[in-house]
Structure formats: C-alpha cells, structure tokens
Structure 1
Amino acid sequence: MKTPPNQRSALRFGNGLLPWWAGLLAVAFLAPRLLCAEPEPPVAVSPEHRIKAAYLLNFTRFVTWPGRAFLNAGAPLTIGVAGQNPFGSVLQQIIEGEKVNGRPIVIREFAPGEDLTQCHVLFIPRAESSRVPAILASLRDAPVLTVSETEDFLEQNGMINFLVQDKKVRFEIGQKAAEQAGLVLSSRLLKLAVRVITNKSETGK
C-alpha cells in the first residue's frame, strides 16, 4: 500500500534516514485516532498538545532568527508560553538536552503583563484567545515566532497556527508576518503547511 503524497511530504524533510523527531511529526499525520485517546496518567496533557509540543521544538530547526534576537553567541533559545500552560511538563521533557544551532533551549511561562519579547518562540494557547490582539501588538516587529491554536490567528498577523483536520494536527503559516519580524522560514517548513500567507498571495492545499 502506497503512502498518499501528502503524507510522504510530511515524513520527508530531506534525503536519507529520518531524524529522531520525524517520528513525532509522523504521529500527527499517521495516527488520526490519537486525538481521541485518553491522556496517560499522571500527566493530564491531551494527545493533541503532546503533538503540538513536539512541533514547537521542530519549528525551531526550520526558522532563522536575526542576530539581534540573541544577546550573544551562546545565549539560549527561549520557547515561551503565554498564560496557562497546556503542556504540563511534556514540553520540558521534549526539549531536555536539545540544542538548536548550538544553543540550549529553555522554556519560560509568561504571566499577563510580562515582557513577551524575552523569548524567541511564543505559544499562545486557546485559553488566551481573547488576549491575542494585545499580545501580537506588543510584539510588533519583534523577532519572536508567534504560534497559536486560535481562530483567525493568521488574519491577526500571527505566524503559525495549529488546527485539527480529520483528527490530525496540521498547521498554517503567515509568512508575511514572519518576514516583517525579520524571521526566515525554511521552504521545507512552508511545504508542510496546509495554508501559507505570503506578501504576494495565499496558497493552500
């Protein structure tokens, strides 16, 4: 049985053997029943958010930040979560020991009112959807990759938005917003998105 073209593209970022994290991405495309499964105790994190946590790490490998985003060559890459953290300890477990371009990765939770520019990736959970306009306004032109799971996130100038299609976690990309912030997204990442908004047009699958 042949793998459908859209699944093959999701599994191949390059030639040769797949890196370890490709298996985590594959879960999102090849396990449609996963989102219906019960969370495993004692961590009350949904299967959907386990997949999204893996994606957050993988996104960092396909984004280039401008030099001004880091204090120095050894500064860590910070993944922030705005408000209520839906990942529990899962995100911390996933990034443990990982590096991006030689930089260690750290997780930081941001309470309302804190300076959100002090991270490189910011996840805005569904529970914080009412704050999306204010959060994005506070990050205008800052080199922060904004990621969410809220309706119309790209239309509000967000950069990556998760959505569930046919019980599979997918994502759409606002390339225009990323470029305005000085971020460069890999073409390989763009090819996996179900929709991409660019400076010139909007493409979708």
Structure 2
Amino acid sequence: MLCRRSPHRCGPGRARLMRLLLATLLLGLPLRSQALDELPLKAAIIFNLLLFVEWPGESELPPGAPLLLCADRSGPLWPHLKLLQDRPVRQRRLELREVASVDDQRGCQAWVLEEGGSRPLAARVPGTGAALVIGDGQRADDGGVVIALRMMNNRLQFDIDMAQARQQRLLLSSKMLRLARVVRE
C-alpha cells in the first residue's frame, strides 16, 4: 500500500478517499441512470486508480510536480476528466493534456484510451518514459493497456495486466490488485 510505505504522502483526507474508493469498488455499485451517471463515475474511478500507482523515479520529484494524464478531447470522458485538472495525486498535481499529434504525446505518464474517442493514441512514444494506459470499453483490449475498464452486468469493473505494468516499471498497490476483477500475469 502506498500510504503505509510513506505515511507522509497520505493524510486523513487521502485515507478517507481511499476507503471510499475501496468501498465503492467492493460493493460493485450498479450504475443506475437515475442515481449515477456513468461518465462522471468513470472519471472518478480513473482519478482514484491514479492514487494507487507509483511511477519510476516519482519519489525524487518535487512536491506539486505534474502527473500528466493524456486523453482525446473529442472523447465522451474529456469534460469529466477536465474537472479533475490540478487535483492532488499524492504528492503530485494532475494535469490533463489533449493529444492531437505525436509531439503532444511526449511526457504523458498516464493515458485514457476510450470508446468513442476519435483519435487512436499511441500507448508509448520512444523517450516518453513509463506510462499507465487505461482502456475503456472496446479500447480495453488495445495493446499496451495496463488497466481495462469494463461495464459488466451494469457494474463498472476493471482488469489489470501485470505484465504490461512490469514492462512500464509501474508499481501497483496491492489494494488495487485485490479489487480488480481479473489480474493477468
């Protein structure tokens, strides 16, 4: 668990947020159109999943360094992800970037490949460093995806590909692994 290894990273608010995420995922709350809208929930889950990942060299970064999340502006999740701009992710700050060209892809540490997006985003560009790729819907099976979001029986669930995570040198929290529907080695 990230908080246990470095308690200075997680205050009471972060611990409460992690417990809420765990409870939500453990309960497998069904998505009902009148109770919860699917897109804001997906954006919130993506944000919370970022809290459970450590990138190589992250501990050497200064507090407030950006965590660059790249997505397709024309995708349905974009407006909901945009609301997360500048939110703290442990000691870092979330920065959302639209990717329209290969040059825009440099520096992306996390990707959202979503169903309904118009641009095929590369999972990794040489020289960009480690990248957490989160695939949604039909994009969940794209090459390089580490976390695959899936709607199953009206519930949002996720699968994890540990081989891809290791290839990217990402450390995933054991709590996140326990909550995953499937963890592939």
Class of the TM-score when normalised by the shorter of the 2 chains: 0.7 to 0.9
Q: Is the partner of 2:68 in helix, strand or coil?
A: strand
Select which of 44, 54, 57 maps to 1:64. Answer: 54
- 83-92 or 117-126: bigger deviation: 83-92
Q: Is the partner of 2:44 in helix, strand or coil?
A: helix
Select which of 148, 151, 173 maps to 1:186. Answer: 173
Q: Could you tell me which runs of 5 or more consecutive residues in structure 2 were left unpaired when the two chains were aligned.
A: 1-11
For the aligned residue pairs, the C-alpha RMSD in angstroms reads: 3.3
Describe how 1:28-47 pairs up with structure 2 within 5 A: 29=27, 31-34=29-32, 36-37=33-34, 47=37
1:19 aligns to 2:16 (yes or no):
yes
Equivalent residues of 1:125, 1:150 under 8 A apart: yes
- Which amino acid counterpart does residue 174 of structure 1 have in structure 2? D
Q: Are the structure 2 counterparts of residues 52 and 87 from structure 1 closer, same or farther at C-alpha, using a change threshold of 3 Å?
A: same
Equivalent residues of 1:124, 1:146 under 8 A apart: yes
> Equivalent residue for 1:146?
133
Deviations 1:154-195 (A, max 9, x none): 572310111011101101111110110111111111111111
Shift of 1:140: 9.2
Q: TM-score, normalised by structure 2?
A: 0.74
Over the matched positions of the two proteins, sequence identity in percent amounts to: 24
Q: Could you tell me which runs of 5 or more consecutive residues in structure 1 were left unpaired when the two chains were aligned.
A: 1-15, 40-46, 199-205
Q: Is the partner of 1:118 in helix, strand or coil?
A: coil
Q: Is the partner of 2:120 in helix, strand or coil?
A: helix
How many equivalent pairs are there?
171
Q: Are the structure 2 counterparts of residues 149 and 70 from structure 1 closer, same or farther at C-alpha, using a change threshold of 3 Å?
A: same
Describe how 1:30-179 pairs up with structure 2 within 5 A: 31-34=29-32, 36-37=33-34, 47-67=37-57, 72-74=61-63, 75-96=65-86, 98-128=87-117, 131=120, 135-136=122-123, 138=125, 142-151=129-138, 153-154=140-141, 156-179=143-166
Q: Is the partner of 1:161 in helix, strand or coil?
A: strand
Q: Which has the larger radius of gyration?
A: 1
Structure with more contact order per residue of length (Cα contacts < 8 Å, sep ≥ 6): 2
Q: TM-score, normalised by structure 1?
A: 0.68
Equivalent residues of 1:85, 1:109 under 8 A apart: no
